[in-house]
């Protein structure tokens, strides 16, 4: 996933737009491919960058990797354009190929729109950004055609990208890190769907890109859970605070929400200065603070708890997968563990 | 070489020396940035008429060895900032002599004060040495305080120019010129002392720490009143931590981890435009940057108590963060 520093120092070099309608049987509207770049002035370039930063660092953004054997042609085009020997012609051809592929896979249910392909540089690394924008019925998109050459005019950005109310927006950034086919940093964003939604519409963007989540939901979830529990057990001395964090973590992970935001969890449930320490601890453990789709399969046993309630109202709560910790006798409940600390509430 | 030949040659090579002056200015800027000291830096090549005048007035100087074909100046706020800059300049550049005018005056006289570095040139290991070899490209550097600069500009450089001319003034006027130099020196020393003795409030202490970091990556002067206001607003987000703890545990480590990227961001001309946030070219932007890393939601909530959200959004996106 692209870092904040990478997004901040990203330079947008060239952009090209293609109009990609839905296929609606014979006689339907055809894809309109530009042959030339859309010239962009400095002000719009800055606004476009702002829009991209806001999307690619938002809670809707996720780290991605290329699929092993994608049906999509996008990975091939991305690898080709970002390899050494970049030319503008190669960029235009690749963008046309990606628009054609979008036209082929875009079924009637997917909103038609424009595909914008942007050539970027971050430091000395080369990359590409793709944006899919819904074509608003009322938006007037001016295409300039002259002697067989075509390009969308700069005003296309005003109509589709830079207005504050652009609702439907999908974007992806590919940044080449090395010469290998998989040496890429990628961030994708789809503000209409969660990446773990299983319906066809939600999977569409990833499928088109030939990408999948960088880290399986179950891996991200257990990494965050285990690291946070380790921190709480080793670095939080206050038993009351331990309980608060522990309970909040369980509650958030067991809630019906499909995605989990570590950033929001820290803000809402971990007070300073412990929050800062946990933040650093997660960094040391290489646990990202970016949102991830929840997948609790691997920690199910730790999340489920059995509560033993005595006749006098004493409660003993233990993880379900650690049944050996509690022995229930006829006259007593025995906890087979040593006292770690005592809390008063 | 005759004066006429010198004039013709200077017209031919002046552009090259202008490039050298530009490079010298950027190297000096790097020096002050590395020390976190704010300084006004200028460097320029001599104008043709001025070069000719000097050769006419000072026949003992030759065109080839004229020491100030390029002149540079570093003006700092405090007297205590002179020595670190002088020392770093000596490390970074080649030079023929350094003259501290104060040493020349001795203990019982007052007058023109500045540090002059003569024959300042690129070192042999400088990547630009082939373009600007030290045999042909050298200049004179003056390092002085704002106070010294004020006195020089008004009393010395503009009207009297040098000691010979001052000596031609009536004695009483000469005395007043020197007394005014003494006043400026007293003021400079007092500023230094006040700076050292001040017991700052937490926000001033944080501001001082931030300012040093800020000037190591940026050059634009901030609005200090606004800085203190923003710092005052954000400090509660650090709980009970003292100003020193905030700097040492939060701000400085985060800054050092991202120093190169911040330098790249602040040197990008794209950020210096009409739409940039009013809070971007301010030292407290680094405080905002740290909170964006660690406590974005709380920062936003706090920010909205006093300032427009759009401004924070602008700062955030400049640093590659989204508030969405």
What is residue A345's predicted lDDT score, i.e. its pLDDT? 56
Mutate: best of B317, B318, B321, partner A, most A CBs <10 A: B317
Distance from CA of B286 to the nearest CA of A (A): 13
What is residue A237's predicted lDDT score, i.e. its pLDDT? 86
Distance from CA of B129 to the nearest CA of A (A): 25
For residues A115 and A224, state if they share a domain.
no
What is residue B159's predicted lDDT score, i.e. its pLDDT? 59
For residues A22 and A106, state if they share a domain.
yes
Q: Is A328 helix (H, G, I), strand (E, B) or coil?
A: strand
The tokens for A292 are: 């991830």
DSSP E strand stretches across chain A: 10-20, 61-66, 113-122, 125-134, 143-146, 149-152, 169-176, 184-190, 211-213, 259-260, 292-293, 305-309, 315-319, 326-328, 333-335
A345 located within any domain:
no
A13 located within any domain:
yes
Task: Give the pTM.
Answer: 0.70
Contacts with A55 (C-beta within 8 Å, 6 or more apart), sequence order: A61, A169, A171, A189, A191, B322, B324
A295 located within any domain:
yes
| CA torsion angle A103 A107 A108 A110 (round to 10) | -90
**CA A16 – CA A119 distance, rounded (Å):** 9
* Chain B residues within 8 A of A7 when measuring between CB atoms: 320-321
Name A171's bridge partners: A131, A189
The tokens for B145 are: 């305080």
Phi, psi values for residue B47, rounded to 5° = -75, 155
**Exposed, middle or buried by CB within 10 Å (0-12, 13-18, 19+), for B221?**
exposed
Whether residues A43 and B258 touch (CB distance < 8 A) is answered with no
CB A6 within 8 A of CB B320: yes
**CA A56 – CA B288 distance, rounded (Å):** 20
pLDDT at A239 over 90: no
Whether residues B317 and A55 touch (CB distance < 8 A) is answered with no
A343 located within any domain:
no
Q: Establish if B47 touches chain A: CB-CB under 8 angstroms.
A: no
Task: Give the lowest-confidence range in A127-141, A210-224, B113-127, B289-303.
Answer: A127-141
Q: Establish if B323 touches chain A: CB-CB under 8 angstroms.
A: yes
Q: Establish if B103 touches chain A: CB-CB under 8 angstroms.
A: no
Which position has the higher pLDDT, A25 or B110?
B110
CB B283 within 8 A of CB B314: no
Which of B238, B270, B322 comes nearest A53 by C-beta?
B322
A73 located within any domain:
yes
pLDDT at B43 over 70: yes
What is residue A27's predicted lDDT score, i.e. its pLDDT? 59
* Chain A residues within 8 A of B249 when measuring between CB atoms: 276
Handedness of CA A133, A137, A138, A140 (dihedral sign): positive
Distance from CA of B220 to the nearest CA of A (A): 19
Which of B261, B320, B324 comes nearest A58 by C-beta?
B324
**Exposed, middle or buried by CB within 10 Å (0-12, 13-18, 19+), for A204?**
buried
A167: left (phi over 0), alpha (psi -120 to 50) or beta: alpha
Whether residues A8 and B261 touch (CB distance < 8 A) is answered with yes
For residues A266 and A231, state if they share a domain.
yes
Q: Residue A26 — pLDDT band, cuts 50, 70, 90?
A: low
Domains contained in chain A, number: 3
Instruction: Please count the residues of chain A.
Output: 345
* Chain A residues within 8 A of B273 when measuring between CB atoms: 42-43, 46
Q: How confident is the model over A68-89, as pLDDT tens digits?
A: 888 899 999 999 999 988 899 9
What is residue A86's predicted lDDT score, i.e. its pLDDT? 85
Which contiguous run of DSSP H or E holds residue B43?
strand B39-45
For the residues B290-317, what does the mean pLDDT come to? 92
**CA B11 – CA A334 distance, rounded (Å):** 98
**CA B202 – CA B246 distance, rounded (Å):** 10
For residues A292 and A310, state if they share a domain.
no
- Residue by residue, DSSP assigns B112-173 as ---EEEEEEB--TT-TTTTTS-TTT--EEEEEEEHHHHHHIIIIIIIII-SHHHHHTS-HHH
* Domain end marker among A213, A247, A271: A213
pLDDT at A5 over 90: yes
Q: Is the peptide bond before A41 cis (omega within 30 degrees of 0)?
A: no
Q: Establish if B134 touches chain A: CB-CB under 8 angstroms.
A: no
For residues A248 and A124, state if they share a domain.
no
What structural domains does chain B harbor? Answer: 3-145 (3.30.460.10), 202-318 (no CATH)
Q: Residue B61 — pLDDT band, cuts 50, 70, 90?
A: confident
Whether residues B322 and A267 touch (CB distance < 8 A) is answered with no
Distance from CA of B319 to the nearest CA of A (A): 5
What is residue A272's predicted lDDT score, i.e. its pLDDT? 81
For residues A134 and A104, state if they share a domain.
yes
For the residues B36-55, what does the mean pLDDT come to? 91
Instruction: Please count the residues of chain B.
Output: 324
Q: How confident is the model over A108-167, as pLDDT tens digits?
A: 666 777 899 999 999 889 999 999 887 665 556 677 788 888 888 777 777 666 665 555
For residues A170 and A224, state if they share a domain.
no
- What does the DSSP 8-state code read for residue A251? H
The tokens for A93 are: 């051809």
For the residues B61-90, what does the mean pLDDT come to? 92
**CA A338 – CA A325 distance, rounded (Å):** 10
What is residue A133's predicted lDDT score, i.e. its pLDDT? 82
For residues A162 and A224, state if they share a domain.
no
What is the C-alpha radius of gyration for chain A, rounded to an integer number of angstroms? 25
A135 located within any domain:
yes
The proportion of chain A whose per-residue pLDDT surpasses 90, expressed as a percent, equals: 28
Average pLDDT of the residues of chain A: 84
What is residue B106's predicted lDDT score, i.e. its pLDDT? 83
A328 located within any domain:
yes
What is residue A344's predicted lDDT score, i.e. its pLDDT? 65
What is residue A85's predicted lDDT score, i.e. its pLDDT? 83
Which of B241, B296, B321 comes nearest A273 by C-beta?
B241
Give the chain A residue whose CA is nearest to the CA of B295: A267
Q: How far is CA A53 from the centre of its chain?
A: 13
Distance from CA of B206 to the nearest CA of A (A): 18
Matching residue, tokens 């005395």: B175
Nearest to B244 by CA among B279, B285, B201: B201
* Chain B residues within 8 A of A56 when measuring between CB atoms: 322
Across the A/B interface, how many CB contacts are shorter than 8 Å? 82
Q: Please give the angle made by the CA atoms of A141, A188 and A160, to the nearest 5 degrees.
A: 15
Handedness of CA A27, A29, A30, A34 (dihedral sign): positive
pLDDT at A296 over 80: yes
Task: Give the lowest-confidence range in B59-63, B75-79, B173-177, B294-298.
Answer: B173-177
For residues A316 and A227, state if they share a domain.
no
Q: Establish if B270 touches chain A: CB-CB under 8 angstroms.
A: yes
Which of A6, A58, A272 comes nearest B239 by C-beta?
A272
For residues A34 and A109, state if they share a domain.
yes
Give the chain A residue whose CA is nearest to the CA of B251: A276
Q: Residue B272 — pLDDT band, cuts 50, 70, 90?
A: low
A66 to A74, A181, B40, B310: CA distances (angstroms): 10, 9, 51, 36
Nearest to A82 by CA among A127, A122, A120: A127
The tokens for B191 are: 């500023």
B247 to A92, B209, B256, B300, B315: CA distances (angstroms): 49, 7, 12, 21, 20
**Exposed, middle or buried by CB within 10 Å (0-12, 13-18, 19+), for B185?**
buried
For the residues A208-237, what does the mean pLDDT come to? 88
Distance from CA of B101 to the nearest CA of A (A): 45
What is the C-alpha radius of gyration for chain B, rounded to an integer number of angstroms? 24
**CA A320 – CA A175 distance, rounded (Å):** 44
Q: Residue B172 — pLDDT band, cuts 50, 70, 90?
A: confident
Whether residues B239 and A3 touch (CB distance < 8 A) is answered with no
Which of B240, B298, B318 comes nearest A8 by C-beta?
B318
For residues A139 and A266, state if they share a domain.
no
For residues A141 and A163, state if they share a domain.
yes
What is residue A305's predicted lDDT score, i.e. its pLDDT? 77
What is residue B212's predicted lDDT score, i.e. its pLDDT? 92
Mutate: best of B261, B320, B323, partner A, most A CBs <10 A: B320
Q: How confident is the model over A249-270, as pLDDT tens digits?
A: 988 888 888 788 898 899 889 9
Which position has the higher pLDDT, B105 or A155?
B105
What is residue A155's predicted lDDT score, i.e. its pLDDT? 75
The range of the structural domain enclosing residue A282 comes to 217-299
Mutate: best of B235, B255, B294, B302, partner A, most A CBs <10 A: B294
Nearest to B291 by CA among B230, B242, B232, B250: B250
Q: Residue A24 — pLDDT band, cuts 50, 70, 90?
A: low
For the residues B226-248, what does the mean pLDDT come to? 92
The tokens for A302 are: 């730790």
What is residue B166's predicted lDDT score, i.e. its pLDDT? 62
pLDDT at B277 over 90: no
């Amino acid at each position: 996933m692209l870092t904040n520093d990478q997004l901040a120092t990203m330079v947008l070099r060239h952009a090209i737009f293609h109009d990609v309608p839905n296929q609606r049987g014979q006689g339907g509207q055809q894809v309109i491919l530009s042959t030339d770049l859309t010239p962009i002035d400095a002000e719009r370039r800055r606004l476009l960058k702002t829009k991209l930063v806001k999307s690619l660092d938002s809670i809707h953004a996720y780290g991605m990797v290329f699929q092993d054997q994608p049906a999509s042609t996008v990975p091939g085009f991305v690898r080709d354009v970002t390899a050494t020997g970049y030319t503008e012609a190669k960029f235009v051809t690749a963008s046309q190929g990606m628009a054609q592929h979008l036209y082929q896979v875009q079924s009637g249910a997917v909103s038609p729109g424009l595909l914008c392909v942007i050539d970027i540089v971050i430091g000395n690394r080369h990359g590409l950004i793709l944006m899919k924008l819904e074509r608003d019925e009322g938006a007037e998109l001016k295409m300039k055609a002259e002697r067989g050459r075509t390009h969308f005019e700069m005003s296309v950005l005003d109509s589709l990208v830079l207005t504050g109310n652009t609702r439907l927006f999908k974007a992806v950034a590919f940044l080449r890190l090395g010469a290998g086919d998989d040496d890429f940093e990628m961030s994708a964003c789809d503000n209409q769907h969660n990446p773990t939604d299983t319906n066809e519409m939600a999977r569409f963007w990833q499928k088109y890109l030939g990408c999948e989540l960088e880290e399986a939901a179950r891996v991200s979830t257990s990494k965050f859970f285990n690291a946070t529990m380790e921190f709480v057990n080793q670095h939080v001395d206050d038993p009351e605070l331990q309980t608060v964090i522990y309970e909040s973590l369980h509650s958030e992970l067991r809630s019906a929400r499909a995605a989990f935001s570590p950033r929001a969890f820290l803000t809402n449930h971990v007070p300073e200065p412990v929050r800062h320490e946990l933040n650093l601890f997660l960094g040391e453990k290489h646990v990202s603070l970016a949102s991830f789709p929840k997948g609790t399969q691997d920690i199910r046993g730790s999340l489920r708890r059995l509560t033993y309630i005595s006749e006098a109202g004493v409660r003993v709560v233990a993880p379900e997968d650690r049944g050996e910790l509690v022995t229930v006798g006829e006259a007593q409940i025995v906890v087979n563990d040593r006292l770690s600390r005592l809390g008063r509430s | 070489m005759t004066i006429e030949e010198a004039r013709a040659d200077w017209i031919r090579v002046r552009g090259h020396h202008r490039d050298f002056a530009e490079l010298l200015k950027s190297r000096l800027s790097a020096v002050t940035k590395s020390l976190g000291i704010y300084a006004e830096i200028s460097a320029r090549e001599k104008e043709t008429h001025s070069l000719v005048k000097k050769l006419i007035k000072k026949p003992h100087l030759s065109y080839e060895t004229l020491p100030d074909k390029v002149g540079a100046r570093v003006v700092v706020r405090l007297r205590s900032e002179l020595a670190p800059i002088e020392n770093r300049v000596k490390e970074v550049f080649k030079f023929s002599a350094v003259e501290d005018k104060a040493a020349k005056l001795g203990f019982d006289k007052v007058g023109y004060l500045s540090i002059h570095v003569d024959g300042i040139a690129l070192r042999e290991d400088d990547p630009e040495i082939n373009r600007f070899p030290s045999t042909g490209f050298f200049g004179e550097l003056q390092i002085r305080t704002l106070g010294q600069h004020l006195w020089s500009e008004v009393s010395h450089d503009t009207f009297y120019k040098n000691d010979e001319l001052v000596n031609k003034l009536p004695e009483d006027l000469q005395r007043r010129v020197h007394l005014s130099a003494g006043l400026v020196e007293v003021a400079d020393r007092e500023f230094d002392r006040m700076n050292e003795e001040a017991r700052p409030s937490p926000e001033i202490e944080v501001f001082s720490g931030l300012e040093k970091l800020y000037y190591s990556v940026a050059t634009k002067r901030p609005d200090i009143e606004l800085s203190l206001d923003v710092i005052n607003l954000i400090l509660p987000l650090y709980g009970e931590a003292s100003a020193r703890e905030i700097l040492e545990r939060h701000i400085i480590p985060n800054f050092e981890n991202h120093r190169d990227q911040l330098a790249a961001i602040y040197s990008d001309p794209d950020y210096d435009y009409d739409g940039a946030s009013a809070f971007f070219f301010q030292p407290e932007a680094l405080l905002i940057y740290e909170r964006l890393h660690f406590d974005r939601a709380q920062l936003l909530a706090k920010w909205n108590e006093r300032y427009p959200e759009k401004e924070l959004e602008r700062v955030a996106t400049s640093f590659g963060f989204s508030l969405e």
